[in-house]
Structure 1
Amino acid sequence: MSTSIVASYSSVGSAAEVLSFSEQVRPTPQKGEVVVRIHASGINPSDVKKRSGWGSTMPPAQPIVPHSDGAGVVECVGAGVPEHWVGRRVWVFNAQGAASYGGSGPEAGTAATYSCLPLSHVVPLPDNVSFEVGACLGIPARTAHYVTFCDGPVAGKTLLVQGGAGAVGELAVQFAVAAGATVITTVSSPEKAEVARAAGAHHIINRKTEDVVKCVRSIAPQGVDRIIEVDFGANAAIDAAVLKLGGQIASYSSPSDRTPAIPYYPLQFTNAHIRLAPIFMISEGDSLRGLADINFALSMGQLRPTIAATFALREIADAHEAVEAPKQPGNVVCLV
């Protein structure tokens, strides 16, 4: 009988202290499920935050296998799943943790040899895309697609992508450029500027050394049509100052301030539309459109996530630390 090497944690804390390994029997797929032999497991900020106790310091009710995203090959299928899925290269999303954020999904993280998921969480991986890249798609690419297009087409519009070298921001830049938008983005270092430039950003602003509002207004005197926001708490005042009348802000995070103050009147007087984007809870229709567009962009070479580092699964603690204290821009992946 096949066995699975599984990384997990039973209490929250530092990666080196709480992550451990066990050997378990390979899961058996139930009706509508598939078992994926994981080859690459992507690590997102939400994964390390959950493990560290950012959302709650209470011990989990049962051991948690971390990581929502991954890629591999379908090993076997449950009842109701066509046999032609067996042997297919796939990428997977929402494998673990959606319930922690108010969404629905399995608790079958990808930091393991095998992961058992509903077929609805499994997507064919284009032949031209590596497992490592496939492991960087679930949260970053789906979020990037949603925040880029949730308020309609972007062709001919000017977008400000705050944090254009991040896992989501980089892909949002790529989506927007491919769709015909003019993209302004902010970064915090020359190294991140190179990532944003490679992604296709038309204008890059170093927020550490330049006046973001002044720079954006010099590029777009009437303001920007849309803003994709990585840190609403830190940037709300800037967003209000550069948004065009009737513009939209789509924010997917606020790490610097979990309960941010809102510059109400500056936003009101631009007739701003603010959308908060919980990727675990978007509609089925939005999700399916995103999956189709992501795979099309991958097949056309339009979506190219940067990978900063890869680690063996046994080095998962080091991998988590690399996400928490990055030495260079890009995604971190565990090879399984």
Structure 2
Amino acid sequence: MKTIVYSETGDPSVLHLVERPVIDPGAGEVRVRIVVSGVNPTDWKSRRGSAPGEALAFADVVPNQDGSGFVDAVGAGVSNVSVGDRVWLALAAYQRANSGTAQEFAVLPAERVFLLPSPASFEQGASLGVPAITAYRALTVAEDGPRRLHPGALDGKIVLVAGGAGAVGHATIQLARWAGATVITTVSGSAKAALATAAGAHHVVIYTDSDVATEIRSIAPDGVDLIVEVAPAQNSALDLEVIRNRGSIAVYANNGGDQITLDVRKHFSLNVRYQFVLLYTVGLEVVQQAAASINEALMDGALSIGVEAGLQLHRFDLAHTADAHALVESGVTGKVLIDVSVG
């Protein structure tokens, strides 16, 4: 089978296409014929490491956490999927050398494999994983919010999504609206505003053109209930201006810097909760809960992709995985997908 690997950290040139034998799944494992692989910032960051040329935990690594395809074989004890099922994957490469989705067949633990509802395409399935589960977690951490998403779970709540044109922002807008929230998002310009509107945001604020805090407060006079934050170092002052008493700020990325300074007294007086979100360490129970709600949202048509739904797709074939990684690393807006095999 055709497989992409890298044996040291570095730029996209460390990715190589090789031929490897197809392996059988062990107990509790599933072999998936990958149709589409999704590329996320976490994939190129793992490949880059902290410096070029670092040794890896394994002799080499198959990249990419997200993907979709067909179940090709199952190991002993697997009951959640069967051969022939359409599935989507999450955390495929986490702490495993050969399970990433940048290959024709991937063997991974069954608990990272989820049925793909029939209305959903393989492109949708490969676009879920990191963005959708992160969005789900961010939307379920508030002190006064739901612990599980479903229609009506966020009725009466106002959610502010920073960076609504990104993949996580896009999924957050869609899931929040599906769950009943009023959604405000901030973006940097008119093109991204059009994407966020297409995703379903009720209110889009271009932060380069306005007094952002005043505009958000005009929509939410009492403050927003939950902020899903991609750039806390840049937005902490704004977040404090618009959060309500007992509001929560869910931080899932460090865009714009690693350090943040908070006014303790002002946050203290508002009982503000900060919750940091990292998919790899949220725990399997959260991932399973997220997958169930995500599938429910898919059945309801709530997680559409494509430019008409606010998420432009960029397509590559497996041989050009390095180009796909480079495009994500460049900060492209939209979702980068690798077509691995025919669905």
Give 1:299 deviation, angstroms: 1.2
8 Å contact kept, 1:133–1:307? no
- Alpha-carbon separation, structure 1, partners of 2:231 and 2:92: 25
The aligned residue for residue 303 of structure 1 is 303
Counterpart secondary structure, 1:195: helix
Counterpart secondary structure, 2:46: helix
- Alpha-carbon separation, structure 2, partners of 1:76 and 1:238: 51
Any stretches of 5+ residues in structure 2 without a counterpart?
147-153, 306-310
The aligned residue for residue 333 of structure 1 is 337
The one-character-per-residue Cα deviations of 1:211-263 (angstroms, maximum 9, x if unpaired) are: 22121112112211111111112211111111101111111111321233333
Work out which of the residue numbers 122, 125, 128 in structure 1 matches 2:113: 122
Q: What one-letter code is carried by the residue in structure 1 that aligns with 2:24?
A: T
8 Å contact kept, 2:98–2:106? no
- Alpha-carbon separation, structure 1, partners of 2:14 and 2:204: 40
Matched-pair identity in %: 41
Counterpart secondary structure, 2:20: strand
TM-score, normalised to structure 2, is 0.90
2:130 aligned with 1:139, yes or no?
yes
8 Å contact kept, 1:161–1:229? yes
Written as runs of structure 1 = structure 2, the 5 A alignment for 1:149-168 is 149-151=140-142, 152-153=145-146, 154-168=154-168
Written as runs of structure 1 = structure 2, the 5 A alignment for 1:136-215 is 136-151=127-142, 152-153=145-146, 154-215=154-215
Judging changes above 3 Å, is the alpha-carbon distance between structure 1 residues 30 and 213 closer, same or farther for their aligned structure 2 residues? Answer: same
Work out which of the residue numbers 47, 54, 58 in structure 2 matches 1:51: 47
The aligned residue for residue 93 of structure 2 is 96
The one-character-per-residue Cα deviations of 1:135-194 (angstroms, maximum 9, x if unpaired) are: 011111111111112222321011111111111111111111111111110111222111
Work out which of the residue numbers 308, 319, 324 in structure 2 matches 1:319: 324
- Alpha-carbon separation, structure 2, partners of 1:292 and 1:207: 34
Instruction: Answer with 6-15 or 86-95: which moved more.
Output: 6-15
Q: What one-letter code is carried by the residue in structure 2 that aligns with 1:137?
A: L
Give 1:56 deviation, angstroms: 8.2
Work out which of the residue numbers 20, 30, 37 in structure 2 matches 1:41: 37
Work out which of the residue numbers 13, 16, 32 in structure 1 matches 2:28: 32
Counterpart secondary structure, 1:159: strand
- Alpha-carbon separation, structure 1, partners of 2:204 and 2:256: 22
Any stretches of 5+ residues in structure 1 without a counterpart?
100-104
8 Å contact kept, 2:98–2:107? no
The one-character-per-residue Cα deviations of 1:105-162 (angstroms, maximum 9, x if unpaired) are: 6751100011101111000111111111110111111111111122223210111111
The aligned residue for residue 102 of structure 1 is none
- Alpha-carbon separation, structure 1, partners of 2:269 and 2:106: 49
Give 1:82 deviation, angstroms: 4.5
The aligned residue for residue 218 of structure 1 is 218
Work out which of the residue numbers 60, 64, 67 in structure 1 matches 2:61: 64
8 Å contact kept, 1:49–1:55? no
8 Å contact kept, 1:241–1:266? no
- Alpha-carbon separation, structure 1, partners of 2:130 and 2:263: 29
8 Å contact kept, 1:145–1:175? yes
Q: How many residues get paired? A: 325
Counterpart secondary structure, 1:171: helix
Written as runs of structure 1 = structure 2, the 5 A alignment for 1:4-43 is 4-15=1-12, 17-43=13-39
Q: Which runs of 4+ in 1 moved over 4 A?
A: 54-57
Judging changes above 3 Å, is the alpha-carbon distance between structure 1 residues 275 and 83 closer, same or farther for their aligned structure 2 residues? Answer: closer
Provide the aligned C-alpha RMSD in A.
1.8
Q: What one-letter code is carried by the residue in structure 2 that aligns with 1:324?
A: E
8 Å contact kept, 2:72–2:83? yes
- Alpha-carbon separation, structure 1, partners of 2:42 and 2:80: 34
Judging changes above 3 Å, is the alpha-carbon distance between structure 1 residues 203 and 76 closer, same or farther for their aligned structure 2 residues? Answer: same
Instruction: Answer with 49-58 or 208-217: which moved more.
Output: 49-58
- Alpha-carbon separation, structure 2, partners of 1:57 and 1:234: 32
